[in-house]
Amino acid sequence: MSRRTNVLACLVTSTLLSLVIAAPAAAAAAAVSDWDYVALGDSYSSGVGASGQTGLCLRSSNAYPGLWNTANSPKTYRSNACSGATTATLRSGQLSGLNAETDLVTLTIGGNDIGFADTVITCTLASDSGCASAVADALVKVRDQLPAKLNATYADIRGKAPNAKVVVLGYPILFDETVANCGVGGMSVTKRKSLNKGAVELNKVIAARSQAAGFTWSSVEDEFAGHGICGTNAWLHGLTVVPPTNSFHPNNAGYRYGYLPALNAALG
């Protein structure tokens, strides 16, 4: 074979290899428009705290699932997420939209199983020691009860959607710990540290169980860093009177600049 023929052969081979290597990436980018996407979970997925909440489940198109749907236009989108959901109610009432054709599932779950909302309210009203005790009680549930509940939930999701990419998102660290005064109730720095520590431990358990199930874990702790309640640029509501359900949930900025980037990062 002549030198010229060798050069041409190398060029053709290199071109073919480039096309083969590029094809999967191009296919993956194009595939989003063909995805069937189902959002599951609790109030942090339904959109409590965002504008435009409707229905008994308080769903909003300004929650991260709705924002992702608007930005990416998948073939189908359905949100079954519901305020107040636990692992048990998710398993009994939210899985009907899943099937072998489902391409993407996202969820937040676990906070209500350990009485997260009640713990925050207790800390708002109780002493520093009373808050610490309430957080300690919640962490017993995190360690002793939640892993098995998450395992069962993730197994049910995989069984219903065997081919889906499942992204499990965590919870934000709620409070800024640097300012002296925080809210109408005067949530002390000590209380805030107790609650934030509890959120870290909750996220660790959810991360471990979701990864053990073969799902993609996406923490939102980094995204919300510097944007805690009582900080100068909070992405979460503090104690809210009207509507009270918004209390300690992300606001529009939290969903758009906290949760949505965390989901995008998980999807690559």
Angle between helices 189-212 and 146-160 (to 10 degrees): 40
DSSP class of residue 230?
T
CA 268 to chain centre: 15
| Preceding peptide of 243 cis, ω within 30° | yes
In sequence order, the 6+-apart residues with CB closer than 8 A to the CB of 263 are: 64, 68, 106, 167, 169, 218
- Verify whether residue 227 is a known catalytic residue: no
Residue with tokens 């769903």: 59
- Verify whether residue 43 is a known catalytic residue: yes
From the candidates 43, 46, 60, 218, give the one annotated as an active-site residue.
Answer: 43
CA 243 to chain centre: 23
From the candidates 46, 210, 227, 249, give the one annotated as an active-site residue.
Answer: 249
Cα–Cα nearest to 65, from 90, 39, 42, 43: 39
In sequence order, the 6+-apart residues with CB closer than 8 A to the CB of 223 are: 172, 257, 258, 259, 261, 262
Cα–Cα nearest to 103, from 267, 220, 264: 267
Residues labelled catalytic: 43, 249
